[in-house]
Every structure is written in C-alpha cells, then in structure tokens.
Structure 1
Amino acid sequence: MDWDKLRIFHAVADAGSLTHAGETLHLSQSAVSRQIRALETSLNTTLFHRHARGLILTEQGELLFDTTSSMIKRLEATAARIRDSEEEVYGELRVTTATGFGSLWLAPRLTSLYDKYPDLKIDLMLEERVLDLPMREADVAIRMKEPSQADLIRRKLMTINMRLFATPQYLEKHGRPVRMSDISDHRLICQSPSSAQVAAGAQLVQTLLSEQIPSMLTVNNYFGVLQATVSHLGIGVLPDYVTEMYPDLQTILPELDSADVPVYLAYPEELRHSKRIEIFRDFVTEQIAEKRRRDQAR
C-alpha cells in the first residue's frame, strides 16, 4: 500500500473530516478526497461512512486505522531514538504510573530533574490502567508490581508498605488506638474496595473492616485519601513514603502494615539506548538512594 495514501487516511480518520485533515496536511479537500477514493479502490472496500456531520469509519476502516496508529507511534519512537544522543536529550518522554504514586512521590521530585534538563518535555500519565509499553502507549512506566508484558527492560526500585496514619490534631480530639480493636471507635479513610489498587493495600483494608468500623470515607485513589487524612477527618490507609512530605503524620498501630509492595520501573527493549530513558531512570534511582541515606541518618 502507498504510504502517502495511508498517511492521508490516518489524518482523515483522526479528524473525522476531509476539510480538517486537509488543513493539517496542507492539502485541498479535493486532493484529500481523491487519495481516499484511490485507497478504497485499491483495497476494494469502503473505509468511511459519509454523512452531513462528517465521516465515520467502517469496520474495515477501523482495522486499517488501528494499524496506521501503531505504525505512526513506532515511527515517532524511532524518530526520537534517532535524535537522542549522548550530548542532547530530545523529544517528549511519556511516563505512566498510578495516580497516588505519581501525585505523592514522583511529581514533587521533578523539580530537580527539570533543573538539570530545563528543555525536557514530560507527559505524566496518572492512571491505574496498565498501559501497553511495547505498543508505545507510553515510554516508561513505574508500577506497583512486576510488569508481565514481554520485551520490557525492568528494574525493581524499592519496596513500600501500606500503613495507618493520622494527624496529631485528630488524635488529640479522638484518642490514639492502642490495639486493633480500637479501630472500631474511629473513622477509617481508605481506597474504595471496588477501585484499582495494590493487592496488599486491599488486603489490609479487609483486615481492618473485620472490626465493624461504623464510619468510613472511601476514595478511588491515595491522593484523595491523603487529603482527607491531613484534614483531620480520620485514620488513613496510606503508603509509608507519605511521611517524607508530611512529617507531622503519625503512624497508628505500627505493627499493623501490609505485605511488601514492590515498585518497578520498566521500558521497552527498543528504547534501551534512549537518552531520555537513561536520564529519567538515573533520576528516579538517585531519588530513591537519597531517601535511603536520609532514613539511615535518622
């Protein structure tokens, strides 16, 4: 198939309009239309349903659009790799991680990375869905379990645990639990059991719920749990690294914590020599090493 025709088809499918695609490609509407008709003729199929509000892909068009989308993502990744060099960090780095970890641990630390590489462009994608790195949905991922996708380079960064935290103001008003059964006298703040979360955190919450807790607030991510906890609303189930940013938070029932939660960094094998990946990997590793040094100095 002719690449120019595929490129034009992709632009039309993405825009849903011959006119808008032509503006993007700097081609007239008639020229775009001719190329689409020629492609449909060569494939002996109809790629678009045409109506007054624009264009809708047919089933065959959807199949072709999936393919051109994958091709363009790989071409963009290849172009970025070609531009990467030992002297220059070029292009956008798409980083995916969970909402809580990205909001509470990663984002506050990015200042030091931008200080060193002020022209770096990072697209930070915070969501619980595991993006497909080999299909170029993201360049690098930090996840709370070992990635299972093939063709990935992976590195274990650290281990975290889920614990119980509360503010001094809350404890002064409501008292400090000294045994697990005391939890039933307090409001629990945790992730919703139906939301995506680390299994160890969900197991800890299930253990706590066995105490018949009368008042609860559930949130669909740890950032929301933290905001409610630091607002003195109750006892929050949170990852242990929050104490670094919120040193006033006090650990409740320190003997009660979750199983270890491994934190992994992963990226596609094809980006092994990417300068952008290298500087991000080194930055995260350095931040973790610095935290360990501070913990040992206490």
Structure 2
Amino acid sequence: MLDWDNLRIFLVMARSKSLTDAAKKLGIDHTTVLRRMKRLEAQVESPLFERNTLGYLLTPQGQRLVEYVEKIETRVHELADDLGGVNRSLAGPVRLGATEGFGSTILAPQLASFCRLHPAITVDILTVPRFVNLPKREADLAVIIERPQTGSYVVTKLSDYRLKLYATPAYLERNVPIRQLKDLDQHAFITYLEDLVLSDELRYMNSIAPNAPRKMQSSSVIAQYMAARRGLALAILPCFLAQQSDDLVSVLDDEIDLVRSFWLVSPTELRHTARVAALWNYLLDVGQRNHAYLMGTTTQQVFEGAAA
C-alpha cells in the first residue's frame, strides 16, 4: 500500500523540480524529502526522478505517477471541501487565473466590489504571461484567450475584445509617415517574444507586418504598453489597455482592427462550488457591462452600481 504522505511529498517535488524548494514548501528537512522519495521509488520499483542541471526532472514512470496522484489530490480537496461545508457556503478562498493585461487592469479593480459583497470569500488573482494549469489546481477558474479543446471543463465566452496599432504622436512626427500597411515595414515594433508567446491568437505580426523589425520584445503586455507610451516604437495593444493613456493614438485605425475573445473556464468538479459559482457569475456580469469598453468604443470602465 502506497503512503499518501509520500505521494503528497512526491507531487510537491515534481512541481518544484528542486529538493530545497520542495522542502521549504513542505516545512521539512531536505534530507527527509530525499529519504521519502527513495522509499517511494522502492515501493513502485521504478526511478521517479533524474537529476540534471535543471533540477530534479520526472522520468517517464514519474510522469505517469504524477497523473494518478493529481487525480487523488483533486478528490482529496473535493472531500475536504464537502465535509467542511465549503461547497455550500459563500466562504473560503477562490483562486482566479487571468492573462496579465486583463487581470491587472480589469479584474483587479472590478473585484473590489465582489470582495465587499462577499466578505467571507478571499480572492487570489494569478496574473502571469502564460496559461494557468487548472488540472494542477493552480486556480479554481480562469480567464483565457483560447477555448480549451480537451479536458473536463465548463467553458463560456466572457467577452470579445479589440486590439489596435498604437504609437505616440511624437514617434509619428519623427518617423516616416504611415499611410498604408506596406509603410509599416519601415517602422520598428514592440511585440511578444516569439518563443514565449502563449497562443497563436497573439501572433499579430504575422498578418500585420511580418517583415517589420522588432525593436523590443517582451512576454509582458504591460511592458509593451509602457515602452510604447515612451515613444519607443509601434505596438499592437488591447484597446482596454492603450486607451488608459493619453500618450497613445491609434494608427491605420480603419485597416488594423483585430478582435479576440476572453473565455471563462473552470474544472467541472469545481464550477458549482458556491464560492466559485459566485465569482463565475460576477465575472460574466463584468464582461457584459464592459463589452463596449473591451471593444474600444467607450473609454471608461463600468463598475457595479454605475449606470451602464
């Protein structure tokens, strides 16, 4: 019989890829972690990790075991929630994953009202330039830009949003005039790092200006926005982000008009937990009342209680 405590330590080790980090997260000595992993490997009669310069990486057998243990972990969390009454109570923690720009500029201010409405619910916002890993319970629900094609999820469209090409007036004055799309080849761009772009939905340059030089690349849309505000180069930005600044004006407004979508997603087993359901419904309301703002046709966010 496998010891659940050893499996729990194994899962932390697999996610940390570091003996020291795993020990810190678990609150135990790193030699204990190592001893427990050797004991588990003896029980399953297979090596679970191989060590290299990147840390402790899973072997094929270790990867298979992770998949089983994550399913057990999910059931353990569900059982704890159910026995504690959390599934039926508007109380407890909810972790929300989101793309960086949307999470920082839309969700953070909008969730202030949600927290006042539900003082017993605590909200963690995970804003990172990548997709959160819902199967590993990095978040209970997430706002993403690519609808999941596989997995046991509840998914709905939150809202469409628009992107435009932006620059500062000063940049436009000191550079070659932009009158048509082919003029963009003479201008530098601020854009995403090609090898770190999280979705094909963000590969705007391929269709707008595939031959234009890249002046700066970043995995962060906030970094791109800040550099564009300083007049460094042109940047394709979400309207909801760019329109917060008077420093930026749209370029080729009639020709460059990109529309993408935000999707709200949650694992099926968590979607109807009371606290998750409350946040889910609130986010749908945020998307509905701010559709015009996300599409760039208004310049002011609408908050709960304000006239639409």
Q: TM-score, normalised by structure 1?
A: 0.72
User: Does the 8 Å contact 2:181/2:209 carry over to 1?
Assistant: no
Q: Distance in 1 between matches of 2:299 and 2:105?
A: 23
User: Does the 8 Å contact 2:163/2:239 carry over to 1?
Assistant: yes
User: Does the 8 Å contact 1:114/1:120 carry over to 2?
Assistant: yes
Q: Distance in 2 between matches of 1:221 and 1:171?
A: 24
Aligned positions, number: 278
Aligned to 1:253: 252
Q: Is residue 10 of structure 1 aligned with residue 11 of structure 2?
A: no
Rg: which structure is higher?
Answer: 1
User: Does the 8 Å contact 1:81/1:271 carry over to 2?
Assistant: no
Match of 1:128 among 117, 124, 130: 130
**Which AA in structure 2 matches 1:286?**
D
**Which AA in structure 1 matches 2:102?**
F
**Structure 1 alignment gaps of length 5 or more:** 50-54
User: Does the 8 Å contact 1:96/1:124 carry over to 2?
Assistant: yes
Identity of aligned residues (%): 22
Q: Distance in 2 between matches of 1:297 and 1:217?
A: 27
Q: Distance in 2 between matches of 1:149 and 1:252?
A: 38
User: Does the 8 Å contact 1:10/1:69 carry over to 2?
Assistant: no
Aligned to 1:52: none
**Structure 2 alignment gaps of length 5 or more:** 14-18, 50-55, 301-308
Task: Please tell me the root mean square deviation across aligned C-alpha atoms, in Å.
Answer: 4.1
Q: Distance in 2 between matches of 1:208 and 1:44?
A: 53
Aligned to 2:303: none
**Which AA in structure 2 matches 1:191?**
Y
Q: TM-score, normalised by structure 2?
A: 0.70
Question: Which stretch has the larger CA shift, 271-280 or 59-68?
Answer: 59-68
Q: How far 1:229 sits from its partner (Å)?
A: 0.7
Residue by residue over 1:206-258, the C-alpha shift from the partner in whole angstroms, topping out at 9 and shown as x without a partner, is 23435x53562222232221111112212211122214533552111112335
Aligned to 1:149: 150
**Which AA in structure 2 matches 1:219?**
S
Q: Distance in 1 between matches of 2:77 and 2:8?
A: 14
Q: How does 1:15-164 map to 2 (within 5 A)?
A: 43=43, 45=45, 64=65, 67-80=68-81, 83-84=85-86, 87-91=89-93, 93-118=94-119, 119-129=121-131, 131=133, 133-134=134-135, 136-164=137-165
Q: Is residue 237 of structure 1 aligned with residue 244 of structure 2?
A: no
**Which AA in structure 2 matches 1:225?**
Q
Report SS of the residue matched to 1:280: helix
Q: How far 1:120 sits from its partner (Å)?
A: 0.8
**Which AA in structure 1 matches 2:163?**
M
Residue by residue over 1:44-99, the C-alpha shift from the partner in whole angstroms, topping out at 9 and shown as x without a partner, is 747799xxxxx9999867755653344224312442355335552213x2322333
Report SS of the residue matched to 2:190: strand
Report SS of the residue matched to 2:279: helix
Distance 1:232 1:88, change over 3 A: same
Aligned to 1:205: 205
